[in-house]
Structure 1
């Protein structure tokens, strides 16, 4: 008997082990450093080949950190995968997505993802959103015989379909894999680092050639010429910049994973740091999941209110939170037979059903079902103003209001403190809800959200004037009766004003906005479709986790900018030195062993700590020009100081090394600002280690160092002062 094909698709939340090793070992800079290392071993002294250990260190550290991130991601991805309901042998059972087999009957409800292709066999008001495949936002009504494509999701109703294509044969297998893929691409920060590397590569080739030529002409000893040329070329290469960037991102992923936050795309780390507007839905974000029926207010004494509510709630095979609350209040169905059902959808704001012998009934938003100006409409508005969720029960034939039902929502106890954090961090919170504006306003006011008392009814907003919409969004913070399509427009309008927008949500009505936001954040208890399109999933389902998540993103980007300043300052002083030495035909001021010592103490070791240290800075646009405004003047002044000290000391390399250390140590202090206890200890330790290298006979002999002299110290002080003035004038001095 043949075994049915299973829905086996390789998990792509992170790179494979072989891909991680290749990415960290076979790099351009490793190749260049490897060649230079071989030249030193052949023609120079072994003490000058220490820089070759950078290849091993970079590769090992990068591999270990990314493997840690991979294990964290793979573990969380399994937790995040929602089970699928299938019908086998007449019984419904939950199975893992990979256990779906050809011929399985898969059941669907609102928010469920379509993971495989198939043919509809049953449908009760089933509406499928295929926007991820077609770009069309309007849901598609499905009936028996219609085709289902993977990559879509249910927004309303319920149904079932038979799996006809599974695994990699499914229509959107690639798309659905990428929906939960750990990506290393499409990052402004990584693109910025790549630009640095590209431009530096083009500079290294001609300048390196000039340096080799000048050293061969100046030195009679071929080994000394090669050593001098290698010293300049190695120093020009920012060999640790890509490594530190990768480490900072990987550690960020691990730290967020430890807080039960699944990062599904690496650029989400970057987005976390740049967010300045956070759009939140009231239900599921400010309020906890689930509701309780508080009061049923009959409007017609002769109407079977309880039976109608129970019939409507129990008629829906996949009830939403409102229907579940009514079911809990009326656990017994009245036995009415439904002949037609219109399931609830966020776009309609109501649901309904026709019952044989009992007429047609609808349940939904009072301001949608009830005529404005009526007494019942006013009563519902008054109740909503207290913060209660209000729904109306109506006879659909004549729109006759029969009852108003109020439901208690549970405000998250940590919501107030979380909102306060964002206010302190300069992040504007916009409450965007499909509920009644008065109800949303009441909760926003209770939570002290600025402008909470001025809620806007989204039905009054312009639909064809993007500029006007953006103006209203800038001046108001609370919006009610927002449709799923409007949420998407809101995100676009805010982005048009230059904002970096994060969107949180848990319901299927949030999917489009989550997909378009700069950063989509889904709750762990949200619908599978919502979690599929979000870049970050809060598996603990806690709104209070957001501050930690945002803080982690800010830490990563601010620290990467710090270490970029360090590495590129080194690159620019090496370029300046190499050009001067090449043009004038001088001996290079220091040997590779000297640059290894200074770079380790002022860049390598400090960068590792700075890349992982805590910070609350919010990342700003303009990463590349801001780094260049710091690194170019700092590098040029450092290079000038080293040349001046070398020349003043009559070609004494120790003087050049002392100047190089003192000036780059001062650059380290400027980059580490604002200084605190651990940073002071870090820069102090580096100074002590250099002093020991000068003082201990063994290390002094190993690195061929003398005393350096006070002239080198004086020139270093002048160069440090010049750098301080330069970075102050360019606006890159940290306070």
Structure 2
């Protein structure tokens, strides 16, 4: 773990400044709201509070971190194996084992630096410049020199350099999504707020690391460095525990048991031999041989290679894994806590419904890509884009729809650009959605600008909650711009040059200014206020954000708009309702996760109603009591009720970074394996704490990526489901390898033990045991890592997190195969010596080959732990046959090549001996298949 930074230093009396009036903040911080601090006072405060930067952690030195990599029971076993190999003179095998240990240590050493990289990315977020007022004059300074009490000016495009209490604003909007998860820019004001107001709703504050998207503002710095909200996240990231994965926990437990068993068996062998009067040196050699036999030298290497194969498979499915054990962790997942914006949704506002006084229309397509249509109730395409008759063709959908889309596109400051087939938005997401809906009917940006040249603008006002633009409208401009003839301006006579004012905004602010509404055929009638309000209520209940559109004919050709003139004389033309739509594949992926027994919880900074509407579209249950809970509600609960509510909830809205972290910890305390997805700075602590943190590749911040274990290249929830599937396959293949290799090691060890107990010669020598272990692990066992996914892998429930690496049924099978090996090797060895007339070297060669023959037969049975060996297709894994072929070739070499006979004390054997070996292997295969069939329900 990294060392923790010192506690943040901040003005004691200025905590929770959102609850204080501007004059109180100014007094408490002893500053001037017009002239700011003096330069001398700023220097004094810089010395007192420190630089405006996040602290660096102090991890242990390189040597300390490297030594920590060897502190693991399995590593102890491997090191013991190396010592044993050196003791019996097998320096090559000892070097191989030490190489595996060193490789694992290097990987761990590199991975331990990931937390520091995440903190570095956080620090980079606050490295910027700021305009500060000191001594009554504006200065451009390095943001690291800001201090509490500084007066800072900020405008569109600026990164907020510190936590700031706003003093004055002018239509200030800030993108806080990286910090709070709020999907839309936040409109700021100076109003005093209750102390319990959550960060996402503190509209009188600016927070370090967020981005100003519009307007201007001036405020007083109230916190810098580690005292900021971003600093708190930095602290949480640094303190979040990097948990061991289910696999590493199980391997640790297994290796501890294995270590005790090896030592006990070796000691028992040595003592038993001594009690029988055997030579002490000979018994020590036998004990060493037993230890070498039982230690699975190839296990760490095969585990690493199997995980690496899983990494490669996931990469082909758009999931990049940054830590090898995370591959298997995904397969163990019991709960997925998914960020809404950008993961379950497109993170691109899209107009879903267009309402006019006479009809309701829907749109196809998502995001800012204009591919799609506006459809009427019968599913017919509307607008100019539906016609092949050229610019002079009629407008399908009527005048009200036409003016609703025109107003949304013309009373608009956003821009859509296309590059390499991808559409990008510059501006407000809401305005981007309006531009896109118009574009789908042929009302492109350039056409609209040419047909309705803008003359004046009244920007969006948080007080009036609307924007207005004045446009000149000349006969023929529509046709010249490539549009069909524009409908007459409501209220105009349709002749000569005229002007039109377009307004968009919230219906409650716009409706009082409307006297009439526009029909499909272009006529006016008194506005039906109740119908419009009912429409907004209905659309809002679906989680849609609704904007109203209105127009007004202007007499003459005015050049400006008086804001006070916007309160009367307008014609309501329609409503446009939008949302950040769910990804097309997300609903099916959520369903697949539920089928696989994985609970999906959606976490968002949005309001509960919006979140619940999106969740409903994704197939997450929201109709039962307790399924939708807000962060403030959870914060007020007692611990026991908190755990219950968290278990029942499927939607968690208005959640803060601390609450995300607490949720992950609470779920883990209940025994869950938690996967957490996210893209913002606010997600980093929970990503690091989760068993598997998943960051977004496209929309994710660098902080989130560095804190994660895996990255989704396409930001799509469906990729998580695919990664879970791959993770389950990886664990299956690891289980197959372990179930395959352990009987061999146990059998070899028992062969030594039985020989000592019977007082006979060893059926296999230590060098021959090492040959078996090293060649079969690579040539046979490793090939199981390439096994394809078994059918129905995503229809079974997740493994119980505390379930041991080996179930009782699999342990019984391992014991069965171990007994088969020791029986076959011992009896064949004795038969060859006594009945077959073979020498001791030939008998040992037969015993060694029968062990490997049984392993080959058992290998095919391990291709499926529950079903027949052809369950995934007998020839679906050609690597199995390649490995078996290479193993056969290796056995022929060690049996018949003279130099190998000399090195390993083997000897050529007869073809009759081979027949006996093959017959025994066939019998073993039949016994294992019968056991699998008889105890299928227990597996």
Output the TM-score relative to the length of structure 1.
0.67
Partner of 2:737: 563
Separation of aligned partners in 2, 1:483 and 1:277: 20
SS in 1 for 2:862: helix
Q: Do the aligned residues in 1 keep the contact of 2:233 with 2:682 (CA within 8 Å)?
A: no
1:51 and 2:93 correspond: yes
Residue 632 to residue 16, structure 1, CA distance change in 2 (3 Å)? farther
Select the structure of larger CA radius of gyration. 2
Distance 1:51 1:436, change over 3 A: closer
CA gap 1:291/1:251 in 2 versus in 1, 3 angstroms: same
Deviates more, 1:461-470 or 1:248-257: 461-470
Match of 1:456 among 617, 620, 623: 623
Match of 1:635 among 812, 818, 829: 818
Residues 433-582 of structure 1 correspond to what in structure 2 (within 5 A)? 434=608, 440=614, 444=618, 456=623, 484=655, 502=675, 504=677, 519=692, 521-524=694-697, 525-526=699-700, 536-582=710-756
Range with bigger deviation, 487-496 or 517-526: 487-496
Give the 3 Å change call, closer, same or farther, for CA 336–467 of structure 1 in structure 2: closer
CA–CA distance in 2 between the matches of 1:491 and 1:60? 33
The correspondence for 1:672, drawn from 863, 872, 892, is 863
User: Partners of 1:430 and 1:141 in 2: how far apart?
Assistant: 20
SS of 1:88's partner is: strand
> In structure 1, the residue corresponding to 2:820 is in which secondary structure?
helix
CA distance in 1, matches of 2:114, 2:687: 24
Contact kept in structure 1, 2:544 and 2:578, CA below 8 Å: yes
Q: Is the 8 A contact 1:508 1:527 kept in 2?
A: yes
2:76 is matched with 28
| 2:271 matches 1:271 | no
Distance 2:671 2:238 in 1: 31
Q: Alpha-carbon deviation of 1:245?
A: 3.1
SS in 2 for 1:391: strand
1:686 Cα deviation (Å)? 1.7
User: What corresponds to 1:686 in structure 2?
Assistant: 887
Residue 686 to residue 21, structure 1, CA distance change in 2 (3 Å): farther
Whole-angstrom distance in 2 between the partners of 1:471 and 1:165 = 33
For residue 220 of structure 1, report the CA deviation from its aligned partner: 7.1
Structure 2 CA distance for partners of 1:54 and 1:362, relative to 1, 3 Å: farther
Matching residue of 1:406: 577
Q: State the SS of the aligned residue for 1:285.
A: helix
Superposition pairs of residues 210-359 of structure 1, within 5 angstroms: 210-214=268-272, 224-249=282-307, 252=310, 261=319, 263=321, 268-275=326-333, 283-292=341-350, 321-322=429-430, 334=458
Residues 178 and 680 in structure 2, CA contact (< 8 A), matched pair in contact too: no
In 2, Cα distance between the equivalents of 1:322 and 1:392?
Answer: 9
What displacement does 1:224 show? 4.8
Which residue number corresponds to residue 661 of structure 1?
852
Match of 1:163 in 2: 224
Query: 2:39 maps to what in 1?
Result: none
The answer to whether the 8 A contact 2:250-2:805 is kept is yes
How far apart, CA to CA, are the structure 2 residues paired with 1:557 and 1:493?
A: 25
Cα gap change, 1:23/1:509 in structure 2, threshold over 3 Å: closer, same or farther?
Answer: closer
Cα–Cα, structure 1 residues 547 and 233, in superposed 2: closer, same or farther, change >3 Å? same
User: Deviation digits for residues 158-194 of structure 1, max 9, x if unmatched?
Assistant: 9865424599x97775532356x8x4x4322212111
Structure 1 runs not aligned, ≥5 long: 42-47, 342-359, 365-372, 395-401, 474-478
1:380 matched to 2:536? The reply is yes
What is the CA distance between 1:235 and its match in structure 2? 0.9
SS in 2 for 1:239: coil
From 791, 805, 816, the counterpart of 1:624: 805
CA distance 1:565–1:538, change in 2 (3 Å):
same
Aligned pair in 2 of structure 1 residues 432, 199: CA closer, same or farther (>3 Å)?
Answer: closer
Please name the residue that 2:768 is paired with.
Answer: 594
Q: Report the equivalent of 1:606.
A: 780
Q: 1:194 aligns to what?
A: 252
The CA deviation at 1:198 is 0.9
Residue among 77, 81, 88 paired with 2:130: 88
* Residues 51 and 232 (structure 1), Cα distance of their counterparts in 2 relative to 1, 3 Å cut: farther
2:903 aligned with 1:702: yes
Which piece of structure 1 moves more, 31-40 or 460-469? 460-469
Give the conservation status (yes or no) of the 8 Å contact 1:287–1:411: yes
Q: Distance in 2 between matches of 1:243 and 1:286?
A: 37
Q: Secondary structure at the match of 1:624?
A: coil
Cα contact 1:218–1:586 (8 A) shared by 2: no
User: Conserved in 1, the CA contact under 8 Å of 2:130 and 2:141?
Assistant: no
1:725 corresponding residue in structure 2: 930
Maintained 8 Å contact 2:245/2:691? no
For 1:567 and 1:550, the matched residues in 2 are separated by 26
Q: Distance in 2 between matches of 1:712 and 1:612?
A: 28
Aligned equivalents of 1:219 and 1:579: distance in 2?
A: 16
Q: TM-score, normalised by structure 2?
A: 0.54
Conserved in 1, the CA contact under 8 Å of 2:178 and 2:682?
Answer: no
**Which segment is superposed worse, 137-146 or 269-278?**
137-146
CA distance in 1, matches of 2:223, 2:643: 46
Maintained 8 Å contact 2:338/2:603: yes
Q: Which residue of 2 aligns with 1:353?
A: none
Q: CA RMSD in A?
A: 6.5
Size of the alignment, in residue pairs? 663
Q: Secondary structure at the match of 2:776?
A: helix
8 Å CA contact 1:24, 1:58 repeated in 2: no
Deviation at 1:20, TM superposition (A): 5.1
- Give yes or no for contact 1:149–1:171 (8 Å, CA) kept in 2: no
Q: Distance in 1 between matches of 2:76 and 2:237?
A: 33
C-alpha deviation, 1:23, in angstroms: 2.6
Q: Which runs of 5+ in 2 are unaligned?
A: 1-42, 133-137, 181-194, 358-399, 401-406, 415-425, 439-444, 446-453, 466-504, 510-528, 550-571, 834-839, 865-871
Following superposition, the deviation at residue 208 of structure 1 comes to: 0.8
Query: In 2, Cα distance between the equivalents of 1:383 and 1:337?
Result: 23
Q: 2:199, 2:79 → 1: CA distance?
A: 54
Is 2:314–2:320's contact at 8 Å kept on the other side of the alignment? Answer: yes
Partner residue in 1 for 2:56: 9
